[in-house]
Chains A and B, each alone.
Chain A
């Protein structure tokens, strides 16, 4: 259909065509995906087979020194007086073997069962001392899982280094064959230039792996065990049991599945409302402050920035104090008849949800205001001039110039805000703490309530004393991740400013 034909249609017909195109697009997308599969497989195969080809040639054409690297890493480098690299390779191999004998192999052998007899059962009461003494080291599933993880990581590193050492030895041999002797100094110069990223990223990445990657992987794995208060020392693999028990318990108001769906719905609703109220109010305030003829611009802005400057937990704790049973605002609400006498503002579901959203505006509007002010000043003035000449009203100019411009530029911010709000722990935990609580729930659910988000529920389930339903919390954590990942993928794909990463360079 040509554009003219399309434009001659009425609005409902156009909408129908758009919808039709959307569904046709899905089909085409799927078809394209399958059409690309052979090519993708070919690319993947080429990428995967690359290292094996290198290894094959190193074994076939290598000198004995190169071949010795298959067994003793760094051997060839040391012989060719590349001491720095050679000794590092060798050192890693030695440490690795020592670690495997000492800890790695025994731990890995227990990974299947996660330990058989508990450490606490190996304690006996020493009658003379009146205290307990350990007579043998029992198993601790937590340790076994964590050390196994570390061991597997070290094995992966070994394989990668082993490959690098052989490839390096082969290229060393080739260079010597054509009479180009590489020197240690060249290696260091490379580190400052072509391989500078290894120098820069080494320390941050070690930190990232130790304090973020390992914990996250551990968390995902724990979701497949029954780690909880009842099984705190020895726990077992349970496969997908946690997931099935979550997704089959929709019967009645206090099945875990029902509670999960309720909280998920509120989390998404909350994230949506919180993001948009903050965004539009922040933009409105920014528009008002930046309007021509308004004086004291700096003062208005500064007043709002105070909220950002004061640590958030201080202001949130303070507001929650004001809304405590004897708090200042609660008394006002009682006087106005919004809250029954001797009641709490958090007794009523709708009222407490509205309160949270209002407090969130109080916290979040200043940020949006700052960002929007910066952008507003960058909108080309002549756009407004020409609109004014054409007789456009203020509202019309806002709708056709300001809003599209803002939305286009701040899309990434909006997405990160949405994701941040799904995980907005502080405001719920410090402020309403989930109240009003659900009644008659099993203790293993934690002290969960109507205004809890998934993230605060997870926290209550795993960290608060008395619950420690850790495995289930990990399952929920993974589900939160999936929710966020789906939304980010949808939005990031659509946002054009993400695609054009290099345009500013």
Chain B
């Protein structure tokens, strides 16, 4: 029976219908928190237990407060995070590419050992070292500024060589050999062969290291509390996390509006460079 073309087409049709239904449900579930967030940020008196603000309850006050409130200088937080993110992504990308190229292309003593060492180091809970890291920052006289986070992020960039190395591994070696035979050095290979071919992975690394600082609140908060940095020197993540711990209506509204203001630029950036991100993580997972 099932082999009759008519019934097969019917089965196909119902299957497709079911799939569409599931996909719609999935989409609703995945978008729900963000829709909720946007509505919440537009409530006059934010109440987290209602979904829609009722008629006449719409307002932009939360957004206005966000940029005028002195106790929670959101604009400063945003700028601080932006500066940190820009420097981190530039430096980190350079270091990641350098490390990945060395580990992928140059054969030297201790290469395997170094890779194993980094694998092992990655297995320790990183924040237990925060005391020491903070002490080192203090020695360098950097403990009173949030921008020391740049140093902290960049210093560990060698550990994230993995995906870029996986990419370099797939670039054909005959290109290197051609350059070396023509009298070029390994330095020329890096600049003239590998980098021009690595646009996707470069953009991927920039994107990932740019978005990282926006979401990290652990190191940020530790440095803020241990170095007693005033509110004007915080990052967005530290500030917003602190807002959620306060019970007031003002803070809740600010949190929602602030979360929207953080999410919009990052999401926009992400969609712009989405193709590279997908290539990066898919490639990294396949190559391992």
Could you tell me the distance between the alpha carbons of A411 and B287 in the complex, rounded to whole angstroms?
10
Q: Report yes or no: B185 in contact with A311, Cβ–Cβ below 8 A.
A: no
- Shortest C-beta distance, A269 to chain B (Å), equals 19
Q: Report yes or no: A477 in contact with B124, Cβ–Cβ below 8 A.
A: yes
B-contacting residues, A431-457, CB 8 Å:
455
Q: Report yes or no: A305 in contact with B270, Cβ–Cβ below 8 A.
A: yes
Could you tell me the distance between the alpha carbons of A502 and B129 in the complex, rounded to whole angstroms?
34
Q: Residue-by-residue, is A443-485 near B (CB-CB < 8 Å gives 1, otherwise 0)?
A: 0000000000001001100110000001001100100110011
Known: A207-B158, A504-B287. A303 touches B27 (CB 8 A): yes
- Stretch from B16-24, B56-64, B70-78 that touches the partner: B16-24
- Stretch from A13-21, A237-245, A369-377 that touches the partner: A369-377
Q: Report yes or no: B49 in contact with A327, Cβ–Cβ below 8 A.
A: yes
Q: Report yes or no: A311 in contact with B156, Cβ–Cβ below 8 A.
A: no
Give the residues in chain B near A256, CB-CB below 8 Å. Answer: none
Could you tell me the distance between the alpha carbons of A194 and B107 in the complex, rounded to whole angstroms?
9
Q: Report yes or no: B288 in contact with A371, Cβ–Cβ below 8 A.
A: no
Could you tell me the distance between the alpha carbons of A216 and B133 in the complex, rounded to whole angstroms?
10
Q: Report yes or no: A196 in contact with B186, Cβ–Cβ below 8 A.
A: yes
Q: Residue-by-residue, is A200-233 near B (CB-CB < 8 Å gives 1, otherwise 0)?
A: 1101110110111111101100000000000000
- Shortest C-beta distance, A215 to chain B (Å), equals 2
Give the residues in chain B near A308, CB-CB below 8 Å. Answer: 270, 277
A-contacting residues, B103-156, CB 8 Å:
106, 108, 111, 114, 118-121, 123-133, 135-136, 151-152, 154-156
Give the residues in chain B near A459, CB-CB below 8 Å. Answer: 125, 127
Q: Report yes or no: A218 in contact with B132, Cβ–Cβ below 8 A.
A: yes
Q: Report yes or no: A501 in contact with B169, Cβ–Cβ below 8 A.
A: yes
Please report the total number of B residues contacting A with Cβ < 8 Å: 92
Residue of A nearest to B31 (CB): A303
Most buried by A among B129, B173, B244, B285: B285
Could you tell me the distance between the alpha carbons of A298 and B277 in the complex, rounded to whole angstroms?
15
One of A313, A458, A484 near B128 (C-beta < 8 A): A458
Residue of A nearest to B216 (CB): A313
Q: Residue-by-residue, is B48-70 near A (CB-CB < 8 Å gives 1, otherwise 0)?
A: 11110000000000000000000
The 9 sampled A-B contact pairs (Cβ below 8 Å) are: A211-B156, A302-B274, A303-B30, A320-B244, A327-B49, A374-B282, A425-B127, A458-B127, A480-B125
List 12 additional contacts besides A196-B187, A293-B16, A481-B124; criterion CB under 8 Å: A146-B135, A204-B99, A215-B128, A288-B19, A293-B12, A300-B23, A309-B263, A327-B48, A327-B49, A328-B50, A481-B123, A502-B169
Q: Mark A residues whose CB is within 8 Å of B.
A: 142, 146, 189, 192-194, 196-197, 199-201, 203-205, 207-208, 210-216, 218-219, 285, 288-289, 291, 293-294, 300, 302-315, 317-322, 324, 326-328, 330-331, 362, 366-367, 370-371, 373-375, 409-413, 419, 423, 425, 430, 455, 458-459, 462-463, 470, 473-474, 477, 480-481, 484-485, 488, 495, 497-498, 501-502, 504-505
